Structure 1
Amino acid sequence: MNLDFREIATTTMVLFAVIDIVGSIPVIIDLRTKFGHIQSEKASLVSAGIMIAFLFVGEEILKLIGIDVNSFAVAGSFVLFFLALEMILGIRLYRDEEANSASIVPIAFPLIAGAGTMTTLLSLRAEFQSINIIIAILLNILLVYAVLKSSSKIEKMLSKNGLNIIRKVFGVVLLAIAVKLFAANVKGLFA
């Protein structure tokens, strides 16, 4: 076990920016308004299970189809780059279908453990120890649970402008992380 608090902090911040649970508060509030109660515990546990499983099985799937981790990490850096642009510029490049229930499907997947999160996990796996990534996942899931449980209080406290500022700040952080991931893994493509 190679516990590294710098790795844990870095991966926690990356996942926090990608999951963007604070930026998703308006979506969560909208789903709660449309469909009633959201099962915070169930959504959090399912999200954690999906992310941890993909962390380990994802690389095997890549090997099965003949893609190396460096290639996936570079592709992941592009996904992170575009997610960051969405956050910073306030635009929407990727559109999900309209959710028809507030069950596990729209909350746990794809809102929390979506394509961006999956790509990020495999990209992080190329650079960091798995145990540190798992700890970062669990720390983020605790935060996700807290936000899901108290989304209406957070909305009142931060206001729409406060949420927009937080979203843009984490967009810039995510953009820097995307550039770093690209630079660290692009060399492996030509080795």
Structure 2
Amino acid sequence: MTNFDLKEIITVGMVLFAVIDIVGSIPIIVGLRAKHGHIESEKAALVAGLIMILFLFIGEEFLSLIGIDVHSFAVAGSFVLFFLALEMILGIRIYRDEEASSASIVPLAFPLIAGAGTMTTLLSLRSQFHTLNIVIAILLNIILVYIVLKSSGKIEKMLGQNGLGVIRKTFGVVLLAIAVKLFAANVKGLFL
């Protein structure tokens, strides 16, 4: 366990928390619950966690299979994070998903929790942090996702729209700073 680093776990955990944006997704979750009834919180959290861990380990091999190096993917990921951060800070919607037909694993686990932004972020983080710390951060985030899914109605009532907005904008700024750091750290690798 020589690679275990609490600081890395906290950093990666915060990045994933901001990208997954489960608190900012509460209005979507509440809407899905109202539209389709029961949400399978356990199943959605487990599947999202498995998708994220699987992509963390085989994502790089998949990229090399199609001829893309980690630095290129990390720079591309920094752009995705940048636009996600802009969405969170400015309250705009750049990327639009199709309307969900049911509140099953598909709209929750993928793409809401383990979507394209999360996948890109995982490989970008892998170029900067130890894999063990990333896995621990994923597991901590999945536990948090499960708690939020289970108590989304209570959280929405407790925070209100203004509270959710403040949290979303705060993590948007953090995400923007991380996007700039990822870009700066990996752009040099494109020209070596």
TM-score range, shorter chain: over 0.9
SS in 2 for 1:95: coil
| Deviation beyond 3 Å, 4+ runs, structure 1 | none
Give per-residue Cα distances to partners, 1:47-87, cap 9 Å, x unaligned.
Answer: 00000000011000011011110010000000000000000
Task: Using the TM superposition, give the Cα deviation of residue 26 of structure 1 relative to its aligned residue in structure 2, in angstroms.
Answer: 0.3
Distance 2:7 2:64 in 1: 29
Residue 110 of structure 1 aligns with an amino acid whose one-letter code is: P
Task: Give 1:6 deviation, angstroms.
Answer: 1.0
Taking the aligned partners of 1:185 and 1:6, their CA distance within structure 2 comes to 21
Q: What TM-score do you get using the length of structure 2 for normalisation?
A: 0.99
Shift of 1:109: 0.3
Query: Is 1:105 matched with 2:103?
Result: no
- Tell me the amino acid that sits aligned with residue 175 of structure 1: L
Alpha-carbon distance between aligned partners in 1 of 2:113 and 2:185, rounded to the nearest angstrom: 26
> Does residue 26 of structure 2 align to residue 25 of structure 1?
yes
2:191 aligned residue: 190
Amino acid at match of 2:115: G
The equivalent residue for 1:71 is 72
Deviations 1:90-133 (A, max 9, x none): 00000000001000000000000000000000000111111100
Report the 3-state secondary structure (helix = DSSP H, G, I; strand = E; otherwise coil) of the residue aligned with 2:94: coil
Matches within 5 A, 1:8-157: 8-157=9-158
Q: Give the TM-score normalised by the residue count of structure 1.
A: 0.99
Which residue of structure 1 aligns with residue 167 of structure 2?
166
Equivalence for 1:4: 5
1:106-163 Cα distance to aligned partner (Å, 9 max, x none)? 0000000000000000000111111100000000001000000000000110001110
Give unmatched runs, 5+ long, in structure 1.
none
Matched residue count:
191
Identity of aligned residues (%): 80
Q: Distance in 2 between matches of 1:25 and 1:136?
A: 21
> For residue 5 of structure 2, what is the amino acid of its counterpart?
D
Structural RMSD (CA): 0.5
